[in-house]
Structure 1
């Protein structure tokens, strides 16, 4: 009896194993049938072109990986390769390591620290035949190939002064790490016959403010065939006409934007910024002012001793100029101005006025201010000067600019002096 039961149990056990294996095999072959019948698609024979493209993709991916790890280092390497592609001789390139200290406004207290700015500067001499648009396209295409896909926090600002110079500023987030200056060779343009001459020469960036109410003095100054920056009011009667003509002639133009002065009885001008404005109003006003002058590359303040000394308001304004890729020059109408510092902090190419030529209406005073500007240019190799289209100022400039050029001083567009 027990023997019969054991045989029955063994038989039942074997049947269960058989059924389990059968079910497993059925499901296995069913899944293969479904995969090959409805899901699987036969692989195509891959061409040599595919493998070539795949190799390029892997190389690009590797470079992108390098950008993510060392964005500044790899960008400098890429830029040197770009110069090689442009067939620029090494003898026409001089690099400099620039260190800059930006002190806080006098009355800011201890809430602001000294800023340290360090960057590498490429000084590159090119011939008249080298077109700026070719350089720009090379830079833009390489930027799109590597920087944009890698999502590296690198951005650049580019300012093209027709037939004179091309200024490029490259930032990692808000930190300037590379400045590139292409200078056109020839006495009819920048005045430099060698890149060494440019680096060693005392240079003056002359900005003429308050442009737009008269064409007479503009025509006189342009007859000197000297790089001069013209700061144009947004709503003056001849602003648009002058902006267009200066652009055609290859001069640098910027927006001369009125800002609220300490003396609130003074009217700064149409399109002015006031400290009672909120962030949206400031932005709207600036964009409207910019829209009046289509050929400008930057901006500086007219008056503005009150507005530029209000840290929040001027920083709101600087943010708009940054969005529009425009540089900013602090006219420095007040010792407590935050404009230049704010631009540096936000990573916007910027400069600050060193000398006012004619804040006192006297020929003797203007002549003395030019001597001061020449002294500073000799000492620091650069000076930013502001003057105005007034009879005495233009009279002195017409006489002194040729003398300064003959003595070895070089006049350059403002974009060359940005930090």
Structure 2
């Protein structure tokens, strides 16, 4: 008990003598998702080989989806379903014109196609993620399966994260896309922006794609994160750190817009 009191007293004195100490020691975390996997084995392998707790988002309608998901799971990586949503097409895609029974059938098929999935994020979906009833259905299914949801935020009109938050489903929202512009300079700048955001708000959730230039930048820059004062953490840990609260760019007072 005395040792605990001395530790508390030392921390209190440090805060009084150096008011910036608490802020200087505040943790900053980054989690990274690589989307669009299952299409190209050499590029998929490069994503799998990234030196840290990368999350691998596998598209269910790709030729190597199941094989790659098993390989990634065996390697200890987090696998999620990269679920096609309108305007994306294909046999798994969720569209506003489909009845709930067909939406459920396509979702169940996606879980069959991508084994070991720990959660799901949307592929495209700027129209679909604005549909309240469909998003409520999706979040309910994920909750029943004890999985999490990541809102890729491909549209400002998304209600997906809000529907997850409303039922207490473990979830988080994307902060930074790395490679909307596919140049090394632009991708490096986006990663630097993610680092600044992580330091400002405590964490940043980053999404990139298995483009060769993106992987080039990540292979070079990710080993430097610790020196930048940022810790690269697994996606589940980032969700826990955020506690289902919306970041400033996604809502107000922890609630999604």
Flag whether TM exceeds 0.5 (same fold).
Answer: yes
Query: 4+ residue runs of structure 1 moved beyond 6 angstroms?
Result: none
For the pair 1:251 / 2:77, whether they are aligned, the reply is yes
**Aligned-pair CA distance for 1:225:** 2.8
Which structure 2 segments of 5+ residues have no match? 5-24, 245-257
Aligned with 1:401: secondary structure?
helix
Tell me the distance in 1 between the aligned counterparts of 2:59 and 2:50. 23
Residue by residue, what CA displacement relative to the aligned partner does 1:247-280 show, whole Å, maximum 9, x if unpaired?
Answer: 111100100000002xxxxx43441001011222
Which of 224, 233, 236 aligns to 1:403? It is 224
Structure 1: how far apart are the matches of 2:140 and 2:180? 29
| SS of the residue 1:297 aligns to | strand
Using the TM superposition, give the Cα deviation of residue 364 of structure 1 relative to its aligned residue in structure 2, in angstroms: 1.6
Equivalent in the alignment of 2:129: 308
2:67 corresponds in structure 1 to 241
Of the structure 1 ranges 237-246 and 329-338, higher mean CA displacement relative to structure 2 is found in: 237-246
Taking the aligned partners of 2:187 and 2:91, their CA distance within structure 1 comes to: 28
* Corresponding position: 1:208 with 2:46: no
Q: How does 1:12-411 map to 2 (within 5 A)?
A: 200-261=26-87, 267-411=88-232
Bigger shift: residues 217-226 or 329-338: 217-226
Rg bigger for which structure?
1
- Aligned partner of residue 68 in structure 2, secondary structure: helix
Q: CA–CA distance in 1 between the matches of 2:60 and 2:48? A: 21
Bigger relative CO (Cα 8 Å, ≥ 6 apart): 2
Alpha-carbon distance between aligned partners in 1 of 2:104 and 2:170, rounded to the nearest angstrom:
19
> CA shift at 1:383, angstroms?
0.5
- Once the 2 structures are TM-superposed, how far is the Cα of residue 348 of structure 1 from its aligned partner? 0.8
| Distance change (3 Å), C-alpha of 1:334 and 1:237 | same
Counterpart secondary structure, 2:81:
strand
Gaps spanning 5+ residues in structure 1: where?
1-89, 91-198, 262-266
**TM-score, reference length from structure 2:** 0.80
Which 10-residue stretch deviates more, 355-364 or 403-412? 403-412
CA distance in 2: counterparts of 1:256 and 1:301, whole angstroms: 6
Name whichever of 384-393 and 222-231 sits farther off.
222-231
CA RMSD of aligned residues (A): 1.8
- For normalisation by structure 1, the TM-score amounts to 0.50
Number of residues paired by the alignment? 218
